[in-house]
Chain A
Amino acid sequence: MSVSDLGPWSLEVRADLMHTMADLLDDPNPIHLDPEAVSRLGLGDRVINQGPTNCGYVVSMLLDAYPGATIRSLRLRLVGQVRGGDRVVAGGRVESSERAGDGRLVRCAVWLDVERGARAVEGTATVELGEAS
């Protein structure tokens, strides 16, 4: 597990919320909804979390670390799967910080790991902090 300046932020992934996300995405992909379909595709026996949800955990970690901040960029690679029942841990490391107008621009490495498992998301984020930061 990487040393984290931001986070750690964690939660247990609920399979029932994959149905909510499938509805928001209008995404019928059964790998998110049906363990038997996952098994038929040779991808294991637990439903697989939607990618936008895994990316969203990283955003939630950033906005917990910097309440009220504005995200300017996100470059995220999905490098592993997250499954229903997994506990995930999001974190980040500040790479640079510079003044920008009345605020600051903070560039971070960010990630999402499956606890006792593999990395699921990695990338970078640029966050703009306001005047009071």
Chain B
Amino acid sequence: MRLADTELPGSTFVVAPEDDRRYAEVVAGRAEDDESANPLWAFIAALTGTGLDITGLFALADCDVAQDGPMLGACDLEYARPLEVERPYRVEAVIAGLERKHGRSGAFDLMRVRAALSDEAGEVATCLTTYVIPRRQ
């Protein structure tokens, strides 16, 4: 399957203050009283801001989320500036690769998605996400 370099639709992503508070509760983090957003929103934006929902993203790789149980394998995040709540970010994403591997539990694919978040002042953060997709024979 040839997916490398496939550009995803992308979207505009905004961290709502209420969602930042909910995420802070999930990770027992500090909910700041200012405009700052948790840095991990760059990952969440990379996952949910591709312009496809998770089901649609994995469907590109012939993966049924409910049946196959794909998982996050790694994330590499770089920040030029901290993220802020209520600020619109443009998310541009591309499938960087899909590679078949074989492990003790059988075959799996590594799907890499590269996403960049930017605002009117330029790039804010990048995220290279690696997903593990089990391939049950």
Contact = CB atoms under 8 A, between A and B. Distances in A.
Given A17-B26, A60-B30, A78-B71, A28 B76 contact: no
B40 A56 contact: yes
A73 B72 contact: no
B23 interface: yes
Interface residues of B, number: 33
A123 B44 CA distance: 18
Interface in A34-69: 37, 41, 43, 48, 50-53, 55-57, 59-60, 63-64, 67
Interface residues of A, number: 38
A66 B78 CA distance: 18
Residue from the set A17, A51, A53, A64 with the largest chain B CB neighbour count within 10 Å = A51
B9 interface: no
A76 B82 CA distance: 18
Contacts of B82: 70-71
Contacts of A118: none
A96 interface: no
B79 A73 contact: yes
Interface of A: 11, 17, 20-21, 24-31, 37, 41, 43, 48, 50-53, 55-57, 59-60, 63-64, 67, 70-78, 123
